[in-house]
């Protein structure tokens, strides 16, 4: 088995529990166009997320919906019954989560990730859960900053690919 490594940068976001402006986040959520439906992750949304490559990481860390329901919380945006964006935990730890946000490619640049992020942060705060963020790229840093987070620093990581 051959292993390829690719050096990349990630971006650490400061952990600042009292930084969020709840009224601002609520205004973002309320700005969602009426063509879309925002809702909590439920069994239907979980199953929709599992079906497509772009959305699978919204639920990939959970054995099934029951496991998700017991340990996580997430939000989704649907358009005509189709999952088009979501925010959910990629990791869970005591009193906190690591946020994962994904949007279907043809629905990007419409503000849906921003709405999902704002709604998930509000849900976390209401449930005494810290919504932690670690950015994969500069787009993610920009989104985090838009929602009230602050960049701490960049750091080097390695992505590994295995092939036969």
pLDDT, tens digit, 9 for 90 and up, residues 36-50: 999 999 999 999 999
pLDDT of residue 141: 97
Give burial (CB, 10 Å; 0-12/13-18/19+) of 88.
buried
User: What gap in Å lies between CA 46 and CA 83, rounded to an integer?
Assistant: 10
pLDDT of residue 125: 97
Q: Which residue has the tokens 């838009």?
A: 146
pLDDT digits 0-9 by tens, 98-146 = 999 999 999 999 999 999 999 999 999 999 999 999 999 999 999 999 9
With 70 as the cut, is the pLDDT of residue 164 above it? no
Mean pLDDT of 51-58: 96
Name the pLDDT band for 6 (thresholds 50, 70, 90): confident
Token digits of residue 76: 């989704």
Q: Which residue has the tokens 């043809």?
A: 106
Token digits of residue 116: 């999902």
With 80 as the cut, is the pLDDT of residue 163 above it? no
CB 46 within 8 A of CB 68: yes
User: What gap in Å lies between CA 160 and CA 54, rounded to an integer?
Assistant: 20
With 70 as the cut, is the pLDDT of residue 153 above it? yes
Backbone torsions φ then ψ of 159, nearest 5 degrees? -100, 130
pLDDT of residue 1: 67
Using a pLDDT cut of 90, give the percent of the chain over it.
91
What is the residue-averaged pLDDT of the chain? 95
User: What gap in Å lies between CA 102 and CA 88, rounded to an integer?
Assistant: 9
CB 140 within 8 A of CB 9: no
CB 109 within 8 A of CB 8: no
């Amino acid at each position: 088995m051959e292993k390829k490594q690719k050096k990349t940068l990630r971006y650490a976001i400061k952990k600042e529990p009292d930084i969020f402006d709840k009224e601002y986040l609520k205004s973002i959520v309320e700005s969602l166009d009426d063509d879309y439906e925002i809702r909590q992750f439920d069994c239907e949304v979980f199953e929709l997320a599992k079906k497509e490559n772009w959305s699978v990481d919204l639920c990939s860390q959970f054995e099934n919906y029951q496991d998700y329901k017991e340990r996580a919380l997430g939000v989704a945006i649907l358009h005509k019954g189709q999952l088009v964006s979501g925010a959910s935990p990629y990791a869970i730890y005591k009193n906190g989560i690591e946020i994962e946000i994904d949007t279907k490619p043809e629905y990007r640049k419409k503000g849906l990730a921003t709405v999902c992020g704002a709604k998930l942060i509000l849900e976390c705060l209401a449930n005494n859960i810290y919504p932690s963020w670690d950015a994969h790229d500069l787009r993610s840093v920009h989104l985090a900053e838009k929602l009230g987070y602050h960049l701490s620093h960049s750091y080097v990581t390695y992505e590994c690919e295995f092939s036969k």
